[in-house]
Amino acid sequence: MRVFKFASLLLAANFTSAIGLDLENEESIVSAGRTIVEHIFTIYKGNETGETPGLLPDPYYWWHAGLMFDSLINYWAVSGDEDLPGVISQGLLFQVGPDNNYMPPNQSKSLGNDDMAFWASAALTAAELGLPQSEDLPWLQLAETTFNTIAVRWDTETCGGGLKWQIFSFNNGYNYKNSVSTLAFAQLGARLARFTGNTTYSDWAERSLTWLQEVGLFELPSGQNSSEASETPDRVAIYDGTDDLANCSEINHIEWTQNDGLLLSTSAYAFNATGGTRTWSAYSFAGLVYANSFFAGSEDDDTRGIITEPACIPTENCNVDQIAFRALLARGLARTRDLTLNSNTTSSDGDSTTYDTINRILRTSAEAAARSCTGGESGNVCGLDWRSESFDGSEGIGQDLAALEVILGVLPRRRFATVNERVNNTGSGTQGNGSNAGGNNGTEGQAQGGENAGTGLRLPTFALAALMAGAVAVLL
C-alpha cells in the first residue's frame, strides 16, 4: 500500500499559525478537520512499510486506534478524501483477530470489553457511512460478531448483571464492572438495532442502561429512575465503576465525558430505531442536561459552553486515556442532533431548545478547540485545555481526536444508512462491496428509522417535570 499522501504534504506545506475556522463555511470546517488529520498521520505510521497496521506507538493503547479510525471515517464522509479508505480499511481489518471479533492475541495483556466495542463501533461507522469494504469480511459482520462475543460475557453471578472491564482474569480490572464497557456495548446494540432492524440488539441496550441505574452507576433526577428508588439525586450523573467482589456495593463516583457521550449516542440511535419511545426520549434529554450542566457548565461566562473534563483538566493530571474522552461526548451530541431532532420545530416540548443547546455547545467548543491549535513547529497543533485561548503545551492523539470530533460536529446533519439502504442503493451492507464512498455527505432531511423517527424528542410528562423545570433554565 502506498504511503498516505498527508505525510509528504506535511514536508512541503507552508503552514499558517493556528487553525482558521469559519463556522458558517462548510469548506472551512472540513479544512480545519484536514489540518488535524494531517497531524494524526505524523503519529500513526501503521500504513507505512515495515509498520504494524492498526497500531499506534507508545504511549497510546489499542483502544485509541479504534477511536482514531472511527473519527477518520467521520472525516472521510464529509471530505471524500480518496486516500483515506485504503488506510482505514487496512487498519480495521488487520486487527480483527483470528475469530473476526476484534480480539487480536497480541492485545490479551490489556484487552477490555470497552476496547473491543470501540473497534466494532468503527466497523459499524464504516457500514453506516458507506466505506468500501471487503466482500469476504463486511463491516456489519465484524460489528455483529464482536457484539455477540461481548454479550455472552454479561455476568449475572454478581451485581445482577453488567460487564467486567477486563476480559481475562489475569488482568488488573477483571473484577471491576464499569460504565464505559456497559455503555459502549449498549451503544453498539442500539446502532445495530437501527442498522439491521433486529430489536434483540435494542433490548440489550435498554437492559444495559437499566442495569447501570439499578446498581447505582447511572443516576437520574427523582421520577426518572426505572426502579423508582426513593433516594434520587438532584442531577444526572454517570459514575466510573464498581467492584464486583463487593457485589457492586461500593461506587467509584468519578465522572467522565466519554460515558455521557456514549449515553447520548445510545439514546439517539435507539430513539431513531424505535420511532422515539418515552424511554429513549428521557435518556436523550438527560444526557444533554448532563453535558450542558456538568461538562460544559462553567460558572465563568468566558468559558461557559466549552466542553471540559472536570475530573482532570482543571488540575492538569489527565492520563493518556482521559485526554481522548471528549471526542466521544462531542460525537454523542452530534448524533443526538442528527438522529432525533427536527431543527425546524417551534414546539413547546423542549425540542427547539434541545437543538439550539446542542449546536451552542458544539459551536462554542469548536471555536475554543480551534484556538488551542497553535502549537508545534507548524503552529497549528491542537492542545488539551480548550478554555486556555491558545496552545497549552499538551499534544497527541487524544487532543487531536477531541478537537476533530467537536469541529466536525458543527457540520449540518448527516444521514446514517440502514442495511436495507446499503444493500438496495449502494451495494455495501452485508451483500457485497461498498461503492458509495462518502455518498451521504452533508445530506439534509430526517434520519431513517422508526416511522416517527426524526420528528423530535417527544418528552414524556415525567421527563418534563423532572428535567424541564430545573434544566431548561440551564440549557438557555
Q: Which of 192, 67, 193 is nearest to 141 (CA)?
A: 192
- 381 forms beta bridges with 375
Q: Which of 441, 118, 145 is nearest to 265 (CA)?
A: 118
Q: 308 in the Ramachandran plot: left (φ > 0), alpha (ψ -120 to 50) or beta?
A: beta
Please determine, for residue 417, whether its predicted confidence score (pLDDT) is greater than 90. no
CATH architecture for segment(s) 6-475: Alpha/alpha barrel (1.50)
Q: Tell me what pLDDT residue 422 has.
A: 61
Backbone angles phi, psi at 215, to 5 degrees: -85, -10
What does the mean pLDDT of the chain come to?
Answer: 84
3-state secondary structure of 218: strand
Q: Read off the amino acid at residue 468.
A: M
Please determine, for residue 86, whether its predicted confidence score (pLDDT) is greater than 90. yes
**What is the residue-wise DSSP string for 73-137?**
HHHHHHH--TTHHHHHHHHHHHTSTTTTSS--GGGTTS-BHHHHHHHHHHHHHHHHHT----SSS
Q: Tell me what pLDDT residue 229 has.
A: 37
Average pLDDT over residues 4-22: 55
Backbone angles phi, psi at 252, to 5 degrees: -85, 110
Average pLDDT over residues 67-90: 97
250 class by beta-carbon count within 10 Å (0-12 exposed, 13-18 middle, 19+ buried):
exposed
pLDDT in tens, 298-356: 777 778 899 999 999 999 999 999 999 999 999 999 999 999 876 554 333 446 678 88
Other C-beta atoms within 10 Å of 136: how many?
A: 9
Contact 107, 55 (CB under 8 A): no
- Quickly state the pLDDT bin for 258 (edges 50, 70, 90): very high
Q: Tell me what pLDDT residue 278 has.
A: 87
325 class by beta-carbon count within 10 Å (0-12 exposed, 13-18 middle, 19+ buried):
buried
Least reliable range by pLDDT among 107-111, 260-264, 469-473: 469-473
Annotated domain spans of the chain: 6-475
Q: Tell me what pLDDT residue 107 has.
A: 96
Contact 92, 132 (CB under 8 A): no
Q: Tell me what pLDDT residue 341 has.
A: 75
State the pTM of this model: 0.87
